[in-house]
Amino acid sequence: MYCHVYLRKSAVYVPTVAKTEAGFYMNRDPVAVVQAVDTEVLRRALRDVMAKGNTVIPTPKRNAFPPSVLPKYVGEKTWAAFMRGASEWDIYEKDGIFQITPWQKDPQGGQSWVPVTDRKIEFPSGTTADDVIERMIAIIQQAQKSS
């Protein structure tokens, strides 16, 4: 299970994430949009997307690659415009082991985003999805207060 969580201003965006046959992940509709301070609705959105897992879809052709679904939720036209001022985290689970990884704009000046592996949180075996969700909510709400 792999999901993305974005904070932009005071809103949290939790898209459905599909895995392509080639093995990479893509954000898709539906996208839950929740105010960061609305703990219960945020908890529900994270539970829902994590419970869905990742549907496997055909890999889009390079010349027919769909645009990101997120910009339209904030009235932007591009991924770069959506990510301006945004924060991103991924929640990953494999064989019952969870991790939360923050992402940042490439410090070497590129347009891409890179994982901040030295700030990755790895949970011990036996940690529940609900425990991970509570930690993710605390991270989001602290980041929103700090912005």
Cα–Cα distance measured from residue 16 to residue 25, given in angstroms and rounded to the nearest whole number: 10
63 DSSP 8-state letter: G
Q: List the CATH number of the domain containing 19.
A: 3.40.1590.10
| pTM for this prediction | 0.94
Residue 122: what pLDDT? 97
Cα–Cα distance measured from residue 119 to residue 115, given in angstroms and rounded to the nearest whole number: 9
52, 53, 77, 133 from 47: Cα distances, Å = 9, 10, 29, 7
Number of domains in the chain: 1
Examine residue 30 and say whether the peptide bond preceding it is cis (omega within 30 degrees of 0): yes
- pLDDT tens digits in sequence order for the chain, 147 residues long: 999 999 999 999 999 999 999 999 999 999 999 999 999 999 999 999 999 999 999 999 988 888 899 999 999 998 889 988 899 999 999 999 999 999 998 887 766 789 999 999 999 999 999 999 999 999 999 999 987
Instruction: Give the range of the structural domain holding residue 107, as residue numbers without chain letter.
Output: 2-146
Q: Which residue is associated with the tokens 């027919």?
A: 64
Cα–Cα distance measured from residue 31 to residue 29, given in angstroms and rounded to the nearest whole number: 5
**What is the biggest distance separating any 2 CA atoms in the chain, rounded to whole angstroms?**
43
Tokens of 40: 């219960």
Count Cβ atoms below 10 Å from residue 19 Cβ, excluding itself: 17
Cα–Cα distance measured from residue 28 to residue 19, given in angstroms and rounded to the nearest whole number: 10
Coil, strand or helix: which one is 28?
A: strand
Continuous segment of H or E residues that includes residue 88: strand 86-94
